[in-house]
Amino acid sequence: MHLVQYVFGLGFYVVLGLTVLCSDRLGKGTGSLLSQLDLFHVAGIALFIGASLMQHQSMVLLARLRTGKSGSVETLAHRVPKGGWFELVSCPHYFAELLIYVSLSLVFGGLSLTWWLVVLYVLFNQALAAQLCHDLYISKYESYPKHRKAFIPFVL
């Protein structure tokens, strides 16, 4: 990872945290916790859990490309990922990241323009990174599956 990317990432997450702290959907922060719960919260939490599991599964599959049965790293060579969401897209962990941000927007009630702008930034950032990875896989591996999309299943 380049130093500029690292510094940019640190800055992004500091500003992201401030964005979350400044967001209180419609000033609804009164009453018991259960009385504040609505359909947006439930949908957001469910999507967050599902996307987090998808991201974890994808990262485990990527890690297994370099490790042996003992769990130690055996090779640093690049290989074609297989299994899970990799059967549909080249970078499911990037797609999962987008879904995590969408889920947080739902938890905010879907009404925070600032948070939707964060989601838009993550969409463009992850789509670009996924397309670059996808193009690398296609150019490096002749047998790379032609039906796989770069980022969003069946779309992009």
Where are the alpha helices (H) located in the chain, listed in sequence order?
3-21, 33-36, 39-64, 92-107, 113-140
Is the confidence at residue 143, as pLDDT, over 60? Answer: yes
* Whole-number pLDDT of residue 30: 63
Q: What is the pTM of this model?
A: 0.81
Mean local confidence (pLDDT), 93-103: 94
Is the confidence at residue 22, as pLDDT, over 70? Answer: no
Is the confidence at residue 27, as pLDDT, over 70? Answer: no
Q: What is the pLDDT of residues 48-71, one digit of tens each?
A: 999 999 999 999 999 888 888 888
Q: What is the dihedral of CA 129, 62, 155, 43, to 10 degrees?
A: -100
